[in-house]
Amino acid sequence: MEQKGRRRVIILGAFFLFCSCYIAYRLYRIQGVENLAWAYRAVHQRSDSLALYRQRGAILDCHGNPFTGRDHRTYLAVFPLLLTTEERKEIAPLLAAHHLRMTGQAPLTIANPSAELIRFANAKERTGVTFCSIPLRYGREPLAHHVLGYLHPTTGQGLDGLEAVYDRELNSDRKIKLTVLTDALRRPIPGLGFRYQEETNVPAGKNLVLTLDYYLQRKVEAQLDQAGIAKGAVVLMEVGTGKIRALASRPVFDPYAPQQSLNAPDRPLVNRAVQAYPPGVLFQLVIAAAALESGKFQPETHFYETRSGRGLVTLTQALAYAASSVFQEVLAVLDQSALLALAEACGLGAGGRLGLPGEGTGRLPGKNELGGSVLVTGEHGVAVTPVQMAAFLQVVAGDGWYRPPTVVEGLQNPDGSMIKPAPETPVVERPVLSGATVTALQKMLAATVLYGTGQKAQIRQGAAGAGGAIPSGYAGERPVYHSWFAGYAPAHAPRFIGVVLLENDPGGAEQAALLFASIMEGIGDDPGS
């Protein structure tokens, strides 16, 4: 019996020793080896997440101000798992009014919640209901929509504008979530309740940095709206760089519903700033530049102008009054091939493009099309875009060098470093006009605004430029025109080039000049405006 008892004690002791060793081993595994894994599981067992949207790279202006994500929309977020039985019964009919219902435990969001839902959410503090904010890709008011483009409403793919050109760089699968952390009783943990959480294991999209200035862009768009422009475009370019600081087109479209504009008769989706139009008398500025470069003419060269009855006029006065008969005479003396070569060197015709979808190329006449009044009136056989015309004025307002127009500075990595994208067809800066020609043209354009056809474009800082109207058809029995004004300010020390195009506008050339003046007033001498 004694021996049996001893054996039982040994077996029992061995059993307890084994159990103790196993428990010690498990404690070691839980507290040591598996500690982080269990902590991770513990947190995620008491957290619920709702994917709000996919991160996409921002589009920024030249100073880092965002064009995208400035405005936000408030949504109501519902976490069914955190609602009590009574709350679920109470909210179910309210969701049904939005054609929504709670299926399982999946959280959901409601845009534009009804007044009843808002009262339900605000009646008292509820664990499973909260308001959240989701950034709008584009602003609530039109701003550079034709440059930015728009996204596919479902896939988020860029379909037009720079959104399409740089879709691969901007796009990202990184999700932004609304997460709630709760305790064992499913109550939000103080200080750790609802919070926005960004995935970190997915690469973020790059930001796109533009040459546009957000505040100048806003001023230009406001002036277009204030003037009631139905169809037209404005380009604002910096002298000496070719960088576009503002680019706007009218009419605008809704970037959240672009399909509504597909068949609209006024073509809101068309970016008129990069479409080609007959330049009209603006091409006389190109003829004047070629005439001065040839050495056969000077600003004081005299002509006898009979069509308007002015009689003896200088080349400067002929440009100021848009005297077509004088430029017909000048053209007869010039080497017209050299004239067209100069126009091409200044980016007119097929050059001077930004690389935007749907951008026009412009057109210069071929050798067989020269002669007559084709180039003098600028109505047939020649077409330029407002951006190309701004690039030409940049040559005149600057130092005689052509600098290709640009609207993109580069891409910005998440760490803030910049990547300069290589253009498909690189265009280098090049000298085009001599210093003497530039000085003469600047005086001639200042005279055009001082006493010629551009007087309506005068501003307090002084402006220089030229403009005119080209017949484009009839509205019933009333003729309608494409109207231009292209110039720069201040006249004595140019900082900005402004080009205004009004399509089928009854206001004519004066309306274009007045809009130029209202845009340029106050920005020509204020770098921070």
Residue type, 304: Y
Tell me what the mean pLDDT of segment 401-427 comes to.
83
**In which band, very low, low, confident or very high, does the pLDDT at 139 lie, cut at 50, 70 and 90?**
confident
214-520 belongs to which homologous superfamily?
Answer: DD-peptidase/beta-lactamase superfamily (3.40.710.10)
Query: Does 34 score more than 80 pLDDT?
Result: no
Residues forming CATH 3.90.1310.10 domain(s) in the chain:
47-186+202-210
Q: What pLDDT is stored for residue 526 in this prediction?
A: 47
CA-closest candidate to residue 323, choices 491, 452, 457: 452
Average pLDDT value for residue range 323-336: 90
Alpha carbons 396 and 297: distance in angstroms, whole number: 17
Q: What is the mean pLDDT of the chain?
A: 85
Residue 514's pLDDT band (boundaries 50, 70, 90)? very high
Q: Tell me the pLDDT band of 368, cut-offs 50, 70 and 90.
A: low
From the number of C-beta atoms within 10 Å of its C-beta (0-12, 13-18, 19+), residue 427 rates as: middle
pTM given for the model: 0.84
Among the four given CATH numbers 3.90.1310.10, 3.40.50.720, 3.90.420.10, 1.10.3720.10, the one describing domain 47-186+202-210: 3.90.1310.10
Q: Indicate the pLDDT class of residue 472, thresholds 50, 70 and 90.
A: confident
Cis preceding linkage at 471, omega within 30: no
Domain with CATH 3.40.710.10 in the chain: 214-520
Residue 358 confidence (pLDDT) above 80: yes
Residue 31 DSSP label: I
Mean pLDDT of 95-120: 81
Average pLDDT over residues 247-257: 95
Percent of the residues in the chain that have a pLDDT greater than 70, as a whole number? 85
**Between 199 and 256, the higher pLDDT residue:** 256
Q: What is the pLDDT of residues 165-219, one digit of tens each?
A: 999 999 998 888 887 776 655 566 655 667 777 877 888 899 999 999 999 999 9
CA 516 to chain centre: 21
Cα distances from 382 to residues 194, 224, 333, 370, 378, in angstroms, run 62, 27, 20, 10, 6
Residue 352 and residue 404 in contact, taking contact as beta carbons nearer than 8 Å: yes
Who wins on pLDDT, 433 or 472? 433
Cα→Cα distances 394→236, 283, 359, Å: 11, 15, 20
Q: Which of 44-53, 68-77, 480-489 has the lowest mean pLDDT?
A: 44-53
